[in-house]
Amino acid sequence: MNKTEIFIFGEVLYDCFPDGQKVLGGAPFNVAWNLQAIGLEPVLVSRIGDDDNGHEIKENMTNWGMNSSAVQTDQIHPSGVVSVILNDGEPAYDIVSEVAYDFITWDEHLASLSRQAKESGNDTILYHGSLALRNNCSLSTFEKLREALDVKVFFDVNLRAPWWSKEQIHDLIYRANYLKLNASEWTLLSGHEGWNVDAARAFVQQYSLALLIITFGENGAIALDNEGQIFSVTPDQNSAVDTIGAGDAFASICLAGIIKGLDTESCLQAAQNFASRIVGLRGATTTDPNFYRDILS
């Protein structure tokens, strides 16, 4: 079985909590971290500052065995940071702009990685969110990467006001094969409150999606494929520290399931199990390899 080349495009940053604790984060980084933990070796395409946070990010990636060759270093802009405020475990974010991941640049190394992936004969998949595409520099680089790879795309929408527009998001959905939304994103983009099977089927048809996944937090998740089949899953009731990274955890295992050829029902169940464990952490990632052993099985 050929190896699948996985490209993860987007932000890496530190989530900074009121008590002074900081935890590595950013949806694409979280997904890359989780995939590395289960042995899938993704290539993270991002950008960090030449500062203490940037140096720590690179060190953490190296210690975790991640490929950091496509993580660029910016001499002008700082590494990304987000101030997190927790209200009953639910996070609110103050996302700093004009940071390094806003300026991901198309360079010869990225071009070379794209050529190698395309010429390898292996399957390739590209994962991305929406936050890192708020700046035209990173957006242009992403479009060049997507065009160079010419592969299937997993779009994990991550709407953070004011850093998005409906026009851009809808355009990105048209170019995706697999789409993941949370409940509020589904409402904002479809105009429908809650699950509506007819609306979901029309949405899948409109955008020619292979799979639409909608997560509903403590109420689980629903998926609809391009054949009209519906799949649903409900979570175990675990105690939560915070919900940061739960959606990223869910996306990680959905992506892994697609790569490994799991059926959609099994994929959703594994994703929900993992997301239910992540909410027991402070932040979205951990350096404890034992945490991932159940997912490996």
The predicted pLDDT at position 163 comes to: 87
CATH 3.40.50.300 assigned to domain 5-290? The reply is no
Pair 165, 192: CB distance under 8 Å: no
The predicted pLDDT at position 89 comes to: 61
Residue of 128 and 92 predicted with greater confidence: 128
**Over the stretch 132-171, which tens digit does the pLDDT of each residue have?**
999 999 999 999 999 999 899 999 999 988 889 999 999 9
**Over the stretch 244-285, which tens digit does the pLDDT of each residue have?**
768 898 999 999 999 999 999 999 999 988 888 877 676 567
**Over the stretch 80-90, which tens digit does the pLDDT of each residue have?**
998 888 776 66
What are the residue boundaries of the structural domains of the chain, listed by start? 5-290
For the sheet with 124-128, list strands across it.
Answer: 71-74, 43-49, 5-9, 124-128, 152-156, 178-182, 211-215, 221-225, 230-233
The predicted pLDDT at position 275 comes to: 86
The predicted pLDDT at position 143 comes to: 97
Q: Which residues pair with 30 in a beta bridge?
A: none
pTM to 2 decimal places: 0.92
What percentage of the chain has pLDDT greater than the value 70? 92
Q: Which residues pair with 238 in a beta bridge?
A: none
CB atoms within 10 A of CB 97: 10
Task: Output the DSSP codes for 193-244.
Answer: SS--HHHHHHHHHHHT-SEEEEE-GGG-EEEEETT--EEEE-------S--T
**pLDDT for 241 beyond 80:** no
pLDDT confidence tier of residue 178, bands split at 50, 70 and 90:
very high
Inter-CA distances, 225 with 47, 84, 179, 186, 213, Å:
34, 35, 10, 16, 9
Q: Which of 13-27, 42-56, 94-108 has the lowest mean pLDDT?
A: 13-27
Length of the chain in terms of residues written? 297
The predicted pLDDT at position 209 comes to: 97
Q: Please give the mean pLDDT across all residues of the chain.
A: 90
The predicted pLDDT at position 84 comes to: 81
**pLDDT for 1 beyond 70:** no
The predicted pLDDT at position 18 comes to: 82
